[in-house]
Amino acid sequence: MGSRVLRVLPCLFAIALLGCETKKEGMTGASHRPVVTIAIEGDIDSFNPLFAEDITAGEINDLLFPALVSSSFDITSGELTYGPLLARSWEYADEGRDVVFHLLPNARWTDGSPVTARDVQLTYELYGDPAVASVRQAAVDNLRRTRGELDVRKSVEVRDDSTVVFHFAAASPGQLFDAGLPILPAHVLEKLPRKDLRTDPVSTSPVSFGPFSLARWIPLQEVVLESNAQSVVPYPAKLSQLILRIIPEYRTRLSQLESGEVDVVGGIRPEDARELTRNAAAVEIISTPGRDYDFLGWNNIDPEAAATTTSATVKPHKLFGSSGVRRALTMAINREELVEAYLGDHGRVAFGGISPLFTWAYHQSMKPLPFDPQRSSSLLEEEGWRDSDGDGVLDKNGLRFSFVLKVPAGNQMRTVVAAAVQQQLRHVKIEMRIEQVERATFWQEVTMRKYDAWLAGFSVPLQMQLDDLWGSDLQKYPFNLMGFQNARVDSILAAVRSLKAESDGALLWREFQEIVQEEQPCTFLFWINNIVAVNKRVRGTRIGVLGTLHHAWEWHVDTTAQVVTAVSH
């Protein structure tokens, strides 16, 4: 038996020896081939912009398939601005209803074929075709209809190989936004049956024309983007390779960042951001505010009467139907304390429904409802809620103020915040139970308005497009989760649609925010910054409102000063 032990020992020893040789991953290329490694949490769902849902997939696809125009967000004015990309210039025609784009003449796909106006046309045909079932179908909504029907071939007109004209239904500020989607190769896709596009292998080995091309994709492991030497849109990427490693565990991503194995990690938690700023000299923290927010949703309408009804037959919710009650709930929650405890400098209290990013629309002088439990209690009492049976919970006409808050599972901070809110509501004698629900279930049921209350979050689009969240037509807008219906808000939303420039609607949006504050359809909690940590050796990043990989072709590596990580544990 002793001999058996002896036999095993050398094997273990050998394994240990093998292990000792490991080099730091990612450093192999540091000296002569500029490579940047990003750690991401989940796998890419598709390399086809028609189908990609995941945010990172979208950013990658933007690099593979540039659009006609490149977008930037001006922080001071709070507006999107556009510059040339595939289109070297454009002009307006027909009183601003048409936009004529002149494409770069020498852009080529990775298989050698030239990029032409036909590519643009087919791309939009595919986006809009129900058989393809792309999630970006809305892209063609604003194109001109011929006799009430949409014919993309007519609305996106090919004048010649390098000129394409977009005929919109009306002049609007969103024209360049609509025309700014990734462009796909017609010569590859037009031959394929539309309904099978989703499962066609072309999505996994794409023909592209952007500054990066897809070198390799190993599912659940990594995505390797390579600089495309032929690209003129705008030029081949300065990095030779951009590698995205899929590492689902947050702690591992963080330690790989600290050890230098990866250069960029997003989704950093606020307390870790503080740690990193203190301890890791080689890492820079970029905190982008204003795109994501969390809120407590109160179902304004009765779930039993919800689902398919029009405004005529909707009944107000027994607990949350009154705006007074909702305001009382907001005032019972100490949002400042939540921000201070859980977000620190990387968040702020949210209210009003419009992001502070849009400086022209944000209501600078309005303040969020204060934390005032006394006022909250008296407001509730005015609404008829009293603790008549002494059980510590308010009641009215025999109905106890007790409900279930549904929280989509998987977000640690939301669970913690929900527990904090639970305690704060108990102080005003409201009983709230928490139930975490698996994500798929949650989103299906909340859009069917089955829940009484929930804690969720949204990401705001960069175009002021709020109909989906606040429009009164509950069937058309399932994401108006609260069932909020207000005629004045509807007219505001209709009015801004027909404006020439987005910023013309400033006054209207101000009114919108005041109505939302007064009606308090939900309790906005806070804006959560997106915190990205970048190793200082990576230069030229434009990480911000438009995402981490925005204009990643400008990234380059500082090879002159090798910045070594200095992490003190």
Output 104 or 428, the one with its CB closest to other proteins.
Answer: 428
Output 90 or 454, the one with its CB closest to other proteins.
Answer: 454
Q: What share of the chain is helix, strand, coil (3-state, %, to 5)?
A: 35, 25, 45
Residues of span 413-452 touching other proteins by CB under 8 A: 415-416, 418-420, 422-423, 427-428, 433-436, 438-445, 447
Which residue do the tokens 């629900």 mark?
A: 437
Helices (H), 169-306: 175-178, 186-189, 250-259, 270-279
Q: Using CB under 8 A, pick the residue from 376, 486, 523, 530 that binds other proteins.
A: 376
Q: Using CB under 8 A, pick the residue from 77, 81, 146, 221 that binds other proteins.
A: 221
**Upper half-sphere CA count for residue 307 (Cβ side, 13 Å):** 5
**Binding-site size, other proteins (CB under 8 A):** 111
Q: Using CB under 8 A, pick the residue from 198, 238, 318, 556 that binds other proteins.
A: 198
Q: Is 340 in the site for other proteins (CB under 8 A)?
A: yes
Q: Using CB under 8 A, pick the residue from 94, 370, 410, 495 that binds other proteins.
A: 410
Q: Measured from the CB of residue 137, what is the shortest distance to other proteins in angstroms?
A: 5
Output 360 or 479, the one with its CB closest to other proteins.
Answer: 479
- Are 72 and 80 in contact by the 8 Å Cβ rule? The answer is yes
The residues near 505 (Cβ < 8 Å, ≥ 6 apart) are 361, 464, 495, 496, 499
Question: Per CB under 8 A, which region of 180-188, 352-360, 371-379, 524-532 contacts other proteins?
Answer: 371-379
Cα gap 408→396, rounded to integer Å: 30
Which residue do the tokens 């981490």 mark?
A: 548
Q: Measured from the CB of residue 58, what is the shortest distance to other proteins in angstroms?
A: 12
Q: Is 251 in the site for other proteins (CB under 8 A)?
A: yes
Residues of span 124-183 touching other proteins by CB under 8 A: 130-131, 133-138, 141
Helices (H), 249-372: 250-259, 270-279, 323-332, 335-338
Output 160 or 391, the one with its CB closest to other proteins.
Answer: 391
Output 116 or 213, the one with its CB closest to other proteins.
Answer: 213
- 3-state helix/strand/coil string of 484-520: CCCHHHHHHHHHHHCCCCHHHHHHHHHHHHHHHHHHC
CA separation (Å) from 125 to 141, 143, 216, 362? 12, 11, 29, 36
Q: Measured from the CB of residue 235, what is the shortest distance to other proteins in angstroms?
A: 25
For residue 476, the one-letter residue type is K
Question: Per CB under 8 A, which region of 94-102, 104-112, 220-228, 281-289 contacts other proteins?
Answer: 220-228
Question: Per CB under 8 A, which region of 26-34, 102-110, 158-166, 305-313 contacts other proteins?
Answer: 26-34
Q: Is 190 in the site for other proteins (CB under 8 A)?
A: no
User: Using CA of residue 24, residue 29, residue 34, residue 37, what is the dihedral sign?
Assistant: negative
Output 326 or 551, the one with its CB closest to other proteins.
Answer: 326
Neighbours of 518 (CB within 10 A): 10
Cα gap 243→26, rounded to integer Å: 9
Output 113 or 477, the one with its CB closest to other proteins.
Answer: 477
CA angle centred on 147, ends 146 and 149, rounded to 5°:
70
**CA dihedral angle for residue 22, residue 25, residue 31, residue 33, rounded to 10 degrees:** 130
Cα gap 213→220, rounded to integer Å: 19
Residues of span 5-24 touching other proteins by CB under 8 A: 5, 8, 15-16, 18-20, 22-24
- Are 386 and 394 in contact by the 8 Å Cβ rule? The answer is yes
Cα gap 519→298, rounded to integer Å: 12
Q: Measured from the CB of residue 443, what is the shortest distance to other proteins in angstroms?
A: 5
Q: Using CB under 8 A, pick the residue from 222, 263, 292, 502 that binds other proteins.
A: 222
Q: Measured from the CB of residue 439, what is the shortest distance to other proteins in angstroms?
A: 7
Residues of span 35-54 touching other proteins by CB under 8 A: 35, 37, 45-46, 51, 53
Residues of span 503-542 touching other proteins by CB under 8 A: none
Output 53 or 91, the one with its CB closest to other proteins.
Answer: 53
Q: Using CB under 8 A, pick the residue from 31, 390, 564, 568 that binds other proteins.
A: 390
Q: Measured from the CB of residue 349, what is the shortest distance to other proteins in angstroms?
A: 14
Residue 405 in tokens: 């808050």
Q: Measured from the CB of residue 435, what is the shortest distance to other proteins in angstroms?
A: 6
Helices (H), 383-480: 412-427, 439-447, 467-470
Q: Which helix or strand (DSSP H or E) is residue 65 part of? A: none
Output 158 or 409, the one with its CB closest to other proteins.
Answer: 409
DSSP 79-111: EEEEEESSEEEEEEETTTTEEEEEE-TT-B-TT
Residue 383 in tokens: 């609404």
Residues of span 447-506 touching other proteins by CB under 8 A: 447, 458, 461, 465, 468-469, 475-476, 478-479
Output 73 or 250, the one with its CB closest to other proteins.
Answer: 250
Q: Is 245 in the site for other proteins (CB under 8 A)?
A: yes
Q: Using CB under 8 A, pick the residue from 113, 190, 250, 267 that binds other proteins.
A: 250
Q: Across-strand partners of 101?
A: 90, 164
Q: Using CB under 8 A, pick the residue from 83, 96, 105, 248 that binds other proteins.
A: 248
Q: Is 279 in the site for other proteins (CB under 8 A)?
A: no
Structural Rg of the chain based on CA atoms? 27
Q: Is 243 in the site for other proteins (CB under 8 A)?
A: yes
Q: Is 246 in the site for other proteins (CB under 8 A)?
A: yes
Q: Measured from the CB of residue 411, what is the shortest distance to other proteins in angstroms?
A: 8
Cα gap 51→196, rounded to integer Å: 12
